[in-house]
Amino acid sequence: QLPIVLTGVSSGIGARTAQILSGRGVPLIGIDRNAPTQFSGTFVQADLSSQAGLDAAAAAAAAAAPHGIAGLANIAGVPGTAPWRTVLSVNVFGVRGLVRTLAPLLGEGTAVVNLASSVAVQWRDVKERCSAFALAADQAAALDSVANDKEITGESYLFSKQCVRFLTEHLAAELLPQRIRVNSVSPGPVATPILEDFKKDHGRDKVEGAGALLGRFGEPDDIAPVIDFLLRPESGWVNGSDIRVDGGLGAYRGSALA
Ligand code: NAI
């Protein structure tokens, strides 16, 4: 059985996804900047915020999977409390880089899943900006080009996740001839370490208010089974889609009741 490559395996949603995949006997190659406390498979310690880290991660994954891989889940993510260059590098170019470099290892019928976010609403309005940024040939130049755009640098997490939705559709189209599917999952607020950063970034009241509206925060177990489903052949006709898994938050915010 070919392995699945996952990023962000050392915490939260990625750790739970790894457990579920291991539980059904899938060999794993896990990538994270932090070593996991619990992980069964080949672990690659790499920082996906730099090109060097991305290259090292892709090379180590390729070396561990000489016969190819059965899927790729880009779960690692950085909150908006980190410097905007780091947020955009990991959340956008990390995803693009791993998909493009590992695509040759992904055979027909395999799948890629990217983690976007339920906050990335109205993404069609920013499609042109995401297209110019996320598809730029030169990553460093793309980052420099938005350095004075306060809307982007001030809301780097939101923009990064809008770009993930955009990239997901774009990569699904790009990889359609190879029969590799690409989908995204957009969680609402999930009780993992990143939630504390969201409280600092978006405001404690807003995040706590969302939890109160929904009755509870999400758990990794609300999200990981959806990622698992998108990696399996049973979801073979789901392609280029985003699945919002947010307890109804997006529906509420987009409604006349909000
Ligand atoms: P988490 O903070 O528990 O896990 C994130 C993982 O990504 C950590 O293991 C971390 O070490 C890894 N990571 C961060 N920067 C990295 C880098 N430069 N190189 C390598 N690994 C790096 O967060 P959680 O909740 O598991 O988040 C998973 C994904 O879900 C992220 O993409 C996040 O943006 C997204 N998401 C999470 C939500 C939440 O409320 N928890 C809501 C919406 C989206």
ipTM: 0.99
Task: Please give the structure tokens belonging to residue 34.
Answer: 């932090």
Contact 53, 29 (CB under 8 A): no
Q: How far apart are CA 153 and CA 91, in angstroms?
A: 13
Ligand 1 atom at minimum distance from 218 CA: 40
Question: Residue 125 — pLDDT band, cuts 50, 70, 90?
Answer: low
Using a pLDDT cut of 70, give the percent of the chain over it.
98
Q: How far apart are CA 185 and CA 187, in angstroms?
A: 6
Q: What is the mean pLDDT of the chain?
A: 96
Mean pLDDT lowest for which of 5-14, 86-95, 123-132, 231-240?
A: 123-132
Q: Is the CB of 33 under 6 A from ligand 1?
A: yes
DSSP alpha helix (H) spans, 89-219: 95-102, 127-134, 139-145, 150-154, 156-174, 194-202, 204-214
DSSP 8-state code for residue 136: -
3-state class of 182 per DSSP? strand
Considering the domain 4-191+219-245 in this protein, what is its CATH number?
3.40.50.720
Instruction: Tell me the pLDDT tens digit for each residue of 65-83.
Output: 999 999 999 999 999 999 9
252 is catalytic: no
Question: Residue 215 — pLDDT band, cuts 50, 70, 90?
Answer: very high
pLDDT at 53 over 90: yes
Determine the straight-line distance between the first and last CA of the chain, rounded to whole angstroms. 48
pLDDT at 2 over 90: yes
Q: Which of 123, 133, 157, 166 is catalytic?
A: 157
Rounded to the nearest whole angstrom, what is the distance from the C-alpha of residue 79 to the centroid of ligand 1? 8
Question: Residue 202 — pLDDT band, cuts 50, 70, 90?
Answer: confident
Q: Is the CB of 210 under 6 A from ligand 1?
A: no
Q: Is the CB of 12 under 6 A from ligand 1?
A: yes
- At residue 126, the pLDDT reads 83
Q: From the CB of residue 15, how many other CB atoms can be counted at a distance below 10 Å?
A: 22
pLDDT at 124 over 70: no
Q: Is the CB of 82 under 6 A from ligand 1?
A: no
Nearest alpha carbon to residue 158 among 201, 222, 196: 201
* Nearest-10 Cα torsion for 251, 252, 254, 257: 140
Ligand 1 atom at minimum distance from 48 CA: 19
Q: How far apart are CA 8 and CA 18, in angstroms?
A: 9
Q: Is the CB of 30 under 6 A from ligand 1?
A: no
Give the distance from CA 76 to its chain's centroid: 6
